[in-house]
Amino acid sequence: MHRYIANTEADRKYMLNEINAESIDDLFSDIPEELKLGRELNLKEGMSEIEIFNHMNEIASKNKSINDLTCFLGAGAYDHYIPTIIKHMVLRSEFFTAYTPYQPEISQGTLQAIFEYQTMISDLTGMDVSNASMYDGATACAEAAIMACANTRRKSVLVSKTVNPETRKVLNTYMKYRNLEVIEVDMTDGVTDLEHLKSLVSKETAGVIIQSPNFFGIIEDYSKAGEIVHANKGLLITSVDPMSLAILKNPGSQGADIVVGDAQCFGNGLNLGGPYLGFMATKSKLARKMPGRIVGESVDADGKRAFVLTLQAREQHIRRFKATSNICSNQGLNMLMATIYLTTLGKEGLKEVAMQSAQKAHYAFEEITKGGKFKPVFDKPFFKEFVLTSDMDSTKVNEKLLGEGILGGYEIGKDYEEYKNSLMFCVTEKRTKYEIDKLSSVLEVL
């Protein structure tokens, strides 16, 4: 009997007899003979379960993961420690679904998880409301730009060149098919050029997008950008690493109107690039313009605490081309992982992770640059990533590091031609002093 198609020869004869067919080929008699292959498929003999398991393991072992290498790579996806409690909790049967509840009020557990998530995101960002979650940081940024255009009824958005290049690509794609304009703002010494920004602001400017810590890891002071765009009655959109908000001033206190980013760093694995978890938070005056949904707290008929779907954008209930957003399902399981992560660590734990990441990154920076072979590209404050350059080809540097079991830095020259041979290293709380010292010593002798 076949392992996966459990039909014996007798089964097949019985079924063919029931439909008055002589053979399996009779089922395809309407296909012309010249279009048929005319021979058996060139497939190997079937394997037993244990054989296929070993075969797949052999193929998979050719790849190297962060379990095999010491990771100093970031650029938007981060190797933070994931407490074991998260997988244990998220695999419970009552949680283990990525599906959005379509009768939300009978899913009180899901609504409570979303409510807690929204509350913590709002607290971290210093904003009034957060939606339930979005596909990833890049799409959240694009949705924020569309939201700014809809709110101001203007058709242009400015985005700093220090924003993650992949985010800018997604932004351009979204805006192009809505006939909305994206204008990039130059940078100076790794941060947004405010004079250039000021010269670009016009009556059509719906908002400006600034990232901090930006793509180079630099902490930008975007409050002045906010003053410029607010004077023009536009909106300030900030893209942030939410981990940094445990120790840095929140965007709400710096004049941001919409805050977006990717919360993969909160208990979600690297997952080969996805699924990730975008977030969006904003001021209450913009809540009705926000895509997705908002869960609120209330009481039921007996006066007991209950959760309700308080606000939901219309994108699910109208024709697609008239929708304000394409977000119709949140990243529920990823959101839940972030919620469990934040709840497990608490305020002090999160601060500890952020502090350790920053302190270890600065230690690595000092160790690598003290020999003089690698020099800093920018002279600006940074969080957990920094950019260094040398006379060596950055690709070959990474190849050498890989040979030593180290996943090296991101090659900045891929996106910024002027920074050829520059590498951006990322250090999280997972890296030990031994690992950082090894990275430094390997780089020193290249």
Condensed to tens digits (0 to 9), the pLDDT of residues 158-182 reads 999 999 999 999 999 999 999 999 9
Whether the Cβ atoms of residue 353 and residue 331 lie closer than 8 Å to each other: no
User: Can you tell me the mean pLDDT for 43-71?
Assistant: 91
Condensed to tens digits (0 to 9), the pLDDT of residues 63-97 reads 889 999 999 999 999 999 999 999 999 888 878 77
User: Strand 422-426 relative to strand 385-389: parallel, antiparallel, unpaired?
Assistant: antiparallel
User: Strand 181-185 relative to strand 305-312: parallel, antiparallel, unpaired?
Assistant: unpaired
- Nearest CA-CA partner of 328 in 338, 319, 337, 336: 319
End-to-end CA distance of the chain: 59
Would you give the DSSP letter of residue 88? H
What are the extents of the domains in the chain? Answer: 9-61, 70-81+348-445, 84-341
User: Strand 156-160 relative to strand 205-211: parallel, antiparallel, unpaired?
Assistant: parallel
**pLDDT confidence of 316, banded at 50, 70, 90?**
low
Look at residue 349 in the predicted model and tell me its pLDDT. 97
**pLDDT confidence of 320, banded at 50, 70, 90?**
low
Q: Rounded CA gap, 377 and 424, in Å? A: 10
Condensed to tens digits (0 to 9), the pLDDT of residues 211-256 reads 999 999 999 999 999 999 999 999 999 999 999 999 999 999 999 9
Q: Rounded CA gap, 304 and 309, in Å? A: 16
CB-facing half-sphere around the CA of 124: CA atoms within 13 A: 33
**pLDDT confidence of 1, banded at 50, 70, 90?**
very low
Q: Is the pLDDT of residue 8 over 50?
A: yes
Tokens of 244: 């940094």
What topology is assigned to 84-341 in CATH?
Answer: Aspartate Aminotransferase; domain 2 (3.40.640)
The number of beta carbons lying within 10 Å of the beta carbon of residue 350 is 21
> What does pLDDT average to over the chain?
93
Please give the model's pTM, rounded to 2 decimal places.
Answer: 0.88
Name, in order, each residue with C-beta under 8 angstroms of 69's C-beta and a sequence gap of 6 or more. Answer: 402, 405, 406, 407
Peptide bond into 165 cis (omega under 30): no
Condensed to tens digits (0 to 9), the pLDDT of residues 370-407 reads 999 999 999 999 999 999 999 999 999 999 999 999 99
Q: Rounded CA gap, 158 and 160, in Å? A: 7
Q: Rounded CA gap, 219 and 254, in Å? A: 13
Look at residue 101 in the predicted model and tell me its pLDDT. 67
**pLDDT confidence of 422, banded at 50, 70, 90?**
very high
Would you give the DSSP letter of residue 156? E
Look at residue 107 in the predicted model and tell me its pLDDT. 82
Whether the Cβ atoms of residue 77 and residue 90 lie closer than 8 Å to each other: no
Look at residue 40 in the predicted model and tell me its pLDDT. 84
Pick left, alpha or beta for residue 266 (phi over 0 → left; psi -120 to 50 → alpha; otherwise beta): beta
Whether the Cβ atoms of residue 438 and residue 404 lie closer than 8 Å to each other: yes
- Nearest CA-CA partner of 260 in 221, 307, 292, 216: 292
What topology is assigned to 70-81+348-445 in CATH?
Answer: Aspartate Aminotransferase, domain 1 (3.90.1150)
